[in-house]
Amino acid sequence: MKVHDTGRVVWIVNQYAGSPRHGMEYRHYQLARALAGRGHRVVVFSGSRSHLFTQPPRVSRPFTLQAIDGVSYCWVAVPGYERAISIGRVVNMTAFAAALECLPTRRFPRPDAILVSSPSPFPISVASRWARRFGARLVFEVRDIWPLTLRELGGLSPRHPLVAMMQRLEDYGYRVADSVVSVLPAADGHMVSRGMDPAKFHYLPNGIDLDGARTAGGAPAAVREAIRPGAFVVGFVGTLGRANVLETLIDAAHLLDPDEVQVVIVGHGPERRQLMVRASGAPNVAFVGPIPKQQVGSAIALFDACYVGYRRSPLYRFGVSPNKLYEYMAAGRPVLFAAETANQPVRDADCGRTLAPEDPDALAAAIRSLAACSDAERTRLGANARAYVERHHDYGRLADELARILLGDGR
């Protein structure tokens, strides 16, 4: 298969870019699809193996091309790995960058712009050479600040060889990129401290496909069955991992009257077994396995409120941009936002309760507060949530802004 050269062309390099057919991540699928709908040609370069994929693509070495919803995907063959934090993942990242070096780039339309996205900074050097070769604009997108995350959350020393290598690549990206994009609204201070020209910075948060949220399929029977009639239902949909602090939600459930409040946790992940053990003895906590993406919106609509939690961490001084928050908001649900972050989207939107993280007593009090609200007040909060994502997080609008940045009109 050869990709023919017509129109303005954007290359997106993110080895974790997924699709509805393969699983998360969806940011670049959504942006690429929206750009394609505006007449741009988009090629997404992604790896064949990711811990986030539910159905990995079938790939022949060294790569396989696939058209998905108007976007050309180049699946680069890379080794698999078991855990998100592992040597195997580091091997996966370095293999992806090495494979990019060997791609026959003449098989693809000549790019006008190249977006290379973190968390892995390894592809930035390859993307920089491509940009020089083709005279394309180079945009460096930072979604997780690596290696700072490895230092502050993982405890690695600045002298660790992996940290030192990633630090050189991060600094290089800030220097050579024409523009720098981040989903973190307050990341520019860190980036300037690493040598970035402040004029390069653009904030482009995560978003949601509002049309897709409206046309989602019906809620799965398992979610409907987990909801007890007459109870105030607090829901969570996402990965059952340490980062989402679901133990706080479970501990809060233990503090609440089980006849009045029900907690429904939907998804899978490495912490599922431990969370189920923690919830033992709490009749008002129900677990439901993962559900198809197209049914997420309908499932969320069954909840009276939704939970987003973060741990206390200095990393959140740069802000957050959680996809699940925008899914909750798009469904018109009030949100319980347990986080200390540079930005406070739930407070800004006036769509729920913002409270301290990792505090079951505070969370239980916030749940009681929402449960005590009138139906009219909860409807108002939900309407505020929907209006906020329509203004700030619609992928159509975000794609328009990205196009201006990529094509040199967004400074």
**pLDDT, tens only, 164-174:** 999 999 999 99
- pLDDT at position 216, please? 53
Position 294 confidence tier, pLDDT thresholds 50, 70, 90: confident
Q: What mean pLDDT do residues 283-294 have? A: 92
The per-residue pLDDT of the chain, averaged, comes to: 93
Residue 97, judged by CB atoms within 10 A of its CB (0-12, 13-18, 19+), counts as buried
Strand pairing class (71-76; 63-68): antiparallel
Average pLDDT of the segment spanning 255-280 = 95
CA distance 329 to 202: 24
Domains 9-207+394-406 and 211-392 share a fold: yes
The 201-203 sheet, strands edge to edge: 63-68, 71-76, 41-47, 9-13, 113-117, 137-142, 179-182, 201-203
pLDDT at residue 9, as a whole number: 97
372: tokens are 């005590």
Model confidence, pTM? 0.90
Predicted confidence (pLDDT) at residue 280 exceeds the cutoff of 50: yes
Confidence of residue 248 (pLDDT cuts 50, 70, 90): very high
pLDDT at 202: 98
Of the ranges 80-84, 213-217, 319-323, 354-358, which one carries the lowest mean pLDDT score?
Answer: 213-217
Residue 2 pLDDT greater than 50, yes or no: no
- Do residues 267 and 299 make contact, with C-beta atoms less than 8 angstroms apart? no
Q: For residues 97 and 122, is the Cβ–Cβ distance under 8 A?
A: yes
Banded model confidence at residue 4, pLDDT cuts 50, 70, 90: very low
Q: Tell me what percent of the residues of the chain surpass a pLDDT of 90.
A: 83
Question: What is the CATH topology of the domain spanning 211-392?
Answer: Rossmann fold (3.40.50)
pLDDT at residue 383 tops 70: yes
Report residue 7's pLDDT band, with 50, 70 and 90 as the boundaries. Answer: low
Write down the domain spans for the chain.
Answer: 9-207+394-406, 211-392
Which pLDDT value is given to residue 83?
Answer: 77
Pairing of β 261-266 and β 232-237 = parallel
At 213, the pLDDT band (50, 70, 90 cuts) reads low
**Assigned token pair, 57:** 């693509």
Q: Which of 126, 130, 52, 53 is nearest to 95 (CA)?
A: 126
Helix/strand/coil (H, E, C) string of the chain? CCCCCCCCEEEEECCCCCECCCECCCHHHHHHHHHHHCCCEEEEEEECCCCCECCCCCCCCCEEEEEECCEEEEEECCCCCCCCCCHHHHHHHHHHHHHHHCCCHHHCCCCCEEEEECCCCCCHHHHHHHHHHHCCEEEEEECCCCCHHHHHCCCCCCCCHHHHHHHHHHHHHHHHCCEEEECCCCCHHHHHHCCCCHHHEEECCCCECHHHHHCCCCCCHHHHHHCCCCCEEEEEECCCCHHHCHHHHHHHHHHCCCCCEEEEEECCCCCHHHHHHHCCCCCCEEEECCCCHHHHHHHHCCCCEEEEECCCCHHHHHCCCCHHHHHHHHCCCCEEEECCCCCCHHHHHCCEEEECCCCHHHHHHHHHHHHHCCHHHHHHHHHHHHHHHHHHCEHHHHHHHHHHHHCCCCC
Bridge partners of residue 42, in order along the sequence: 10
Cross-strand pairs, 161: none
99-119 tens-digit pLDDT: 999 999 999 999 999 999 999
Q: Which numeric CATH code is attached to 9-207+394-406?
A: 3.40.50.2000
Per residue in 119-129, pLDDT (tens digit) is 999 999 999 99
- Above 90 in pLDDT, residue 195? yes
